[in-house]
Amino acid sequence: MDGSAFDRLVRHVGGESSRRGLLRSAFVATVAGLGVASVLILDDAAAKSCKAKCENKPNRHKRAQCKKKCNQNNERCFSENKPCTSDGQCCDKAHLVCDVPFGAGNSDKKCCRGQGATCSTSPEGPHCCTGEAGIREFDCVSGVCQQCLGAACPP
């Protein structure tokens, strides 16, 4: 709040001479204070790291699984086959990227297996991302997704 707005507020509150006016001003100030407090509480909740939330899991295995769903910014990340708009939303610890998964249409971007992810060439999968119109394509080489560079992808 700038100085002039604060001065106007003080004059307004100070200018109220009736009890009803003072009560109204106190009520407005209380409501405004609660609004600010709720925003601050939401900021604190958002600032709590993903890894810190995982520490509340009952056993070591569940804690480890939970931490895999935290990205580099300590925010919750998306698991495989979840719709996305950028790589940062996908779990990088699982080597997931935001691109077109195997068997999907060109506009169906989801978190899928990228460089370094485990994969299989069997029909059941798991498969690597095929990429959007071949822009960024991954191929399964010896059980690991490798990015194809230009004509380097096998047919």
Please report, in tens digits, the pLDDT of each residue of the chain (155 residues total). Answer: 556 665 665 565 555 556 666 567 666 666 555 554 444 444 445 446 777 778 877 888 877 777 777 776 777 888 888 999 888 888 888 889 988 888 887 778 899 999 999 998 888 889 988 877 667 888 888 999 998 875 556 55
Q: Please report whether residue 22 resides in a domain.
A: no
Number of compact structural domains in the chain = 2
Position 57 scores a pLDDT of 79
Residue 20 lies in a domain: no
Which residues are CB-contacts of 63 (< 8 A; sequence separation ≥ 6)? Answer: 54, 55, 57
Query: What pLDDT, on the 0 to 100 scale, is given for residue 37?
Result: 47
Q: Do 88 and 143 belong to one domain?
A: yes
Q: Please check whether residue 21 is in contact with residue 12, taking contact to mean a CB–CB distance below 8 angstroms.
A: no
Claim to verify: residue 143 and residue 85 sit in the same structural domain: yes
Is residue 59 in a domain?
Answer: yes
DSSP, collapsed to helix, strand or coil, labels residue 142 as: coil
Query: Do residues 131 and 138 make contact, with C-beta atoms less than 8 angstroms apart?
Result: yes
User: Is 102 part of any domain?
Assistant: yes
Q: How many Cβ atoms are within 10 Å of 125's Cβ, its own excluded?
A: 14
Looking at this protein, which amino acid is placed at residue 41?
I
Q: What is the distance between the alpha carbons of residues 118 and 22, in angstroms, rounded to a whole number?
A: 68
- Which residues span the domain enclosing 69? 45-76
- The answer to whether residues 85 and 120 belong to one domain is yes
Instruction: Judge if 105 and 140 occupy the same domain.
Output: yes
One domain for residues 128 and 85: yes
Residue 120 covered by a domain: yes
Give dist(CA 153, CA 145) in Å, integer: 11
pLDDT at 119: 92
Chain centroid to Cα 40, Å, comes to 20
Q: Is residue 51 part of a domain?
A: yes
pLDDT for position 35: 53
Whole-number Å distance between alpha carbons of 5 and 90: 44
What's the token pair of residue 28?
A: 């407005």
Closest CA to 140 of 123, 118, 155: 118
H-state helical runs in 1-155: 3-15, 19-47, 50-54, 60-67
Q: Are residues 57 and 85 in the same domain?
A: no
Residue 5 lies in a domain: no
- pLDDT of the residue at 51: 72
Has residue 86 been placed in a domain? Answer: yes
Q: What is the pLDDT of residue 54?
A: 80
- What pTM, to 2 d.p., does this model score? 0.55
